[in-house]
Structure 1
């Protein structure tokens, strides 16, 4: 698959199972994440990879956050299962760096590009991947449990694994109503 085929055909896949990428494949995925645009070469992000017992740690962080929020038991039960949707979950958070020319907004975009590049790499290696955010990405108790300082943000949870089933190909999205071409 060439790069254009990858970009035109990739789609998120929520049905993921074992196996997860092996160490060499994970190395490739992480290396792809490091090739993103990064104004000032600040590396304003941190990547944490959760597998095996790490998924249980992630689950406990989610449960703790919802318990502290006094969520209903059904919600607590739901979040407890979330990390097990895939055999690997990669959490990308910001690590904001003070810089006069690179505002935090731009650094958050850089962290988002890390997630995107790793999702593309996983897809190119034949894996499925799903980039998720949601309430848990914006929850200070989750950040605290994952050793992410409250000043920083979670750019995403990237679920990676083997596709459990073939997904229907999503219809093409047309760009015409989203693009303006200005020639002067």
Structure 2
């Protein structure tokens, strides 16, 4: 698949199975993340990979957050099972570095670009994935579990694996609804 075809046809897939990327494929995914736009060459990223027992640890982190909020049973169940929707989950963290010309928000955007690049690298190699966000990214106990402090932010959970089905075609969109020229 060439790069333009990949970008124009990208779709998230919520049903993923084994195998997860490993070896050179996983290395390519991480390297793609490290090529995200990075004003000041600050490399403001950290990637925490959960697979196997790591998904159990991630589930325990999410469940503890839900329990600390006295969440309803359905939320507790969702927290327990969320990391098992794919054989691998990469938590992507913006590790903000003080810089006079590169504000924290720009470093958050850089980490978000890393997530997209990693997902595209996975798809280019025959894997699939989806990017999850949500309240747990900002929950104090989840932040603490991942060593997120100050202006650092979890920018997403990237679920990766092998697609269970063929992706649907992306919807066609009228470009005139999204583009203006000055």
1:28 equivalent in alignment to 2:12: no
TM-score w.r.t. the length of structure 2 is 0.96
2:143 is matched with: 143
Structural RMSD (CA)? 1.1
1:41 is matched with: 41
Pairwise CA distance, 1:151: 3.6
Aligned ranges for residues 1-184 of structure 1 at < 5 Å?
1-149=1-149, 151-182=151-182
Contact 2:40 2:102 in 1 (8 A): yes
Point out where structure 1 has 5 or more consecutive residues left out of the alignment.
none
Q: Distance in 2 between matches of 1:140 and 1:49?
A: 20
Residues 142-162 of structure 1: CA distance to partner in whole angstroms, max 9, x if unpaired?
111222225411111000000
TM-score w.r.t. the length of structure 1 is 0.95
Pairwise CA distance, 1:45: 1.5
Between Structure 1 and Structure 2, how many residues are aligned? 182
Q: Distance in 2 between matches of 1:134 and 1:99?
A: 28
Pairwise CA distance, 1:31: 0.5
Runs of 4+ in 1 over 3 A off after TM superposition: none
Point out where structure 2 has 5 or more consecutive residues left out of the alignment.
none
